[in-house]
A and B are shown apart, each in its own frame.
Chain A
Amino acid sequence: MQLVMMEAHIARKLHEQMLRIRMVEEKICELYSEQEMRCPVHLCVGQEAIPVGVCAHLAPKDYVLSGHRSHGHYLAKGGDLKAMMAEIYGKVTGCCMGKGGSMHLIDLAAGFLAATPIVGSTVPIGVGAALASVMRREDRVTVVFFGDAAVEEGVLCESINFAVLKRLPVVFVCENNAYSVNSPLSVRQPQEREIYEIALGHGMESLQADGNDVIAVYGLAGKAIDKARRGNGPTFLEFKTYRWLEHCGPNDDCHLECRSETELYKWKERCPVRMLEGRLLSEGVATPEGMRLVAANIATEMEEAVRFAKASAFPDPDLLLKHIYAP
């Protein structure tokens, strides 16, 4: 898609959202070594275009579910940044009251329904949420984000089958970054089969695009979400991308020799944020000063969130016993 085809403010918004996720993740990297965030973090640096391009089409009433690598999805869906930071610091002001950490982000007001690290597990939950919205005649689209390894869990096929059968307003978004922890796709899935083809086999419309090109993501997601909203059933979208950092934690992982520096370098050349910046500037949609201002505003917001998180209290022991049974 040409940027000129798109309203300029949307293109600038996509940029701002991606940059915000990037800066938040980099902030976490920077602060991690202080050892105050005593919580595993799965960062999404390099993958920002997918949450942003997809969530740009969603309203707060729509639902998003995610997995262990959820910061981008949470933020793109409008999840509260302060509550996320506080959660990662294990503070009572966190979105899970300091009990869930990075892997259990939630923001019901923003329609970020659930994220859990059991790979694949939120996929059927998303399908169930979509089923409920149909039965209750609520105008709502549900998007479920998951990685390339989630399609190896049986429940993914079960969920796809069910969603097609019931023609549910749900969009399955696979972020294919080619790795599961340190195992490449080649040891886990047949090389001659593309992931999006799995859904085709179940009779679901299924498409694939470059996950580092936010405009491509935005275009494809727009069609799928619009289709779901009009009651025309589910779609599967596979976006190819790459994670820059180690599977879990703030460092890079080339020293493990599970993937090469050349491969990482090649993908860094295709940075989703820089690629859009280049286009915004060359097509005259944004100016360098405008971008600097955007970055400065994000930096201020982020500093505030970190200050808030650090200043907040840890949960009381009593909280341990709370929320086991409904009141």
Chain B
Amino acid sequence: MARLSMVEAINAALREKMAADDRVVILGEDVGVDGGVFRATVGLLDQFGPWRVIDTPLAENCIVGSAVGMAISGLRPVAEIQFEGFMFKGFDHIYSHASRMLRRSQGVYNVPLVVRAPYGAGVRALEHHSDAPEALFCHVPGLKVVIPSTPYDAKGLLISSIEDPDPVIFLEPKRLYRLFKEEVPDGEYRVPLGEARIVREGNDLSIITYGGMVSVCERAAQHLSEEGVDVEIVDLRTVWPFDAEAITSSVSKTGRATIVHEAPRSFGVGAEIAATIAERCLLSLLAPIKRVTGYDVIPPLAKLEEYNYPTADRVIRAVHETMQF
């Protein structure tokens, strides 16, 4: 057991999986000599050498495409894209091939590929350095999309993702990389894909969220509990395919749902969650479902980021409106 930050937990997951399974190979820009711009792969080149920790040319299309080739040829590649906004240069291979090889090969090739990328706002970069594009990946049949919210989950989810037979898009909220540390067990453990975590239990309202928004919602819930509003928080962890059971049972219990994500609102993950609630437990609802999200805009710099990024205050306001309905 050691107290690790999220980025250290990710490093530990990579190191332990690489030691345990020599099919696991890391590739990406600056992952070797440099150790990664966020330090996620630091020390791995020294331990595993340049064939297993591959510094690639600056070429995301080639990184993802060659990782698909490696994955269907017996390896378990973990490709790092330096920021989420650069994934689109590799999106072609994610969309056109990683997600489709299984079908094309009549089930012969699965694609045990992980594409990792720092994700989301909160580090005062902007545009491509603060995007939240998860819905674009969720919309591609055949992909799994994971976004951890704690160091413990990050390690366990990454190990599960590397072991998973299908392509997993693993998005790491960069705001959380070093925000806090927690106890993380040594050695391999798994947090299963597709299972949500109940962050706190409550009876009045369910907040469904994930990633960097979980701690924002916890702050809101703390404040609300002082007012006597008892909020339950569901952290999806695997954003798609999500744990519909956990969402349904929570909302059936509380009768109210607020969905929180930093990504733009329209056609976002929140829309799919709302549809699922409507389909599965509409009659338990005591109030309309609310969404607290980023606006339908391009992530801006500095000052305006504060307005775009959902805050505890915005969550509290939405909960008040729902409770007063």
Contact of A38 among B56, B61, B302 (CB under 8 A): B302
Let me know if A317 and B307 touch, CB within 8 A: yes
Across-interface contacts of B37 in A (CB, < 8 A): 181
Among residues of A, the one whose C-beta sits closest to the C-beta of B308 is A320
Known: A101-B302, A315-B304, A321-B297. A180 touches B124 (CB 8 A): no
Let me know if B304 and A99 touch, CB within 8 A: yes
Given contacts A90-B301, A100-B127, A120-B58, 8 further A-B contacts (CB under 8 A): A98-B302, A119-B58, A150-B58, A152-B57, A153-B59, A189-B57, A256-B34, A320-B300
Across-interface contacts of B297 in A (CB, < 8 A): 320-321, 324
Query: Does chain A have a CB within 8 A of B30?
Result: yes
Let me know if A184 and B58 touch, CB within 8 A: no
Contact of B301 among A99, A117, A180 (CB under 8 A): A99
The complex places the Cα of A154 from the Cα of B58 at a distance, in Å, of 10
The complex places the Cα of A86 from the Cα of B60 at a distance, in Å, of 33
Let me know if A317 and B304 touch, CB within 8 A: yes
Known: A38-B302, A100-B126, A321-B295. A181 touches B30 (CB 8 A): yes
* Interface set, chain A 101-119, CB cutoff 8 A to B: 101, 103-104, 117-119
Among residues of A, the one whose C-beta sits closest to the C-beta of B124 is A38
Query: Does chain A have a CB within 8 A of B128?
Result: yes
* Interface set, chain B 303-324, CB cutoff 8 A to A: 303-304, 307-308
Mark B110-125 against chain A: 1 for CB-CB distance below 8 A, else 0.
0000000000000011
CB distance from B94 to the nearest CB of A (A): 16
Contact of B304 among A120, A187, A320 (CB under 8 A): A320
Let me know if B124 and A39 touch, CB within 8 A: yes
The complex places the Cα of A103 from the Cα of B34 at a distance, in Å, of 23
Across-interface contacts of B199 in A (CB, < 8 A): none
Let me know if B303 and A183 touch, CB within 8 A: no
Let me know if B125 and A152 touch, CB within 8 A: no
Among residues of B, the one whose C-beta sits closest to the C-beta of A90 is B302
CB distance from B115 to the nearest CB of A (A): 17
Across-interface contacts of A258 in B (CB, < 8 A): 33-34
The complex places the Cα of A98 from the Cα of B124 at a distance, in Å, of 13
Across-interface contacts of B60 in A (CB, < 8 A): 153
Mark B28-65 against chain A: 1 for CB-CB distance below 8 A, else 0.
01101110010000000000000000011111111000
Let me know if A118 and B59 touch, CB within 8 A: no
Let me know if A183 and B301 touch, CB within 8 A: no
Across-interface contacts of B303 in A (CB, < 8 A): 90, 98, 314-315
Query: Does chain B have a CB within 8 A of A40?
Result: yes
Contact of B34 among A119, A150, A181 (CB under 8 A): A181
The complex places the Cα of A149 from the Cα of B56 at a distance, in Å, of 11
Across-interface contacts of B124 in A (CB, < 8 A): 38-39
* Interface set, chain B 267-325, CB cutoff 8 A to A: 295-298, 300-304, 307-308
Query: Does chain A have a CB within 8 A of B91?
Result: no
Q: List 18 A-B contacts (CB under 8 A).
A: A98-B300, A98-B303, A98-B304, A100-B301, A103-B126, A117-B127, A118-B85, A119-B58, A119-B86, A154-B61, A180-B58, A181-B37, A181-B82, A183-B34, A321-B295, A324-B296, A324-B297, A324-B298
Query: Does chain A have a CB within 8 A of B129?
Result: yes
Mark A146-179 against chain B: 1 for CB-CB distance below 8 A, else 0.
0001101110000000000000000000000000
Query: Does chain B have a CB within 8 A of A260?
Result: no
* Interface set, chain A 81-99, CB cutoff 8 A to B: 90, 98-99
Query: Does chain A have a CB within 8 A of B97?
Result: no
The complex places the Cα of A314 from the Cα of B303 at a distance, in Å, of 7
Let me know if A152 and B127 touch, CB within 8 A: no
Query: Does chain A have a CB within 8 A of B89?
Result: yes
The complex places the Cα of A152 from the Cα of B57 at a distance, in Å, of 6
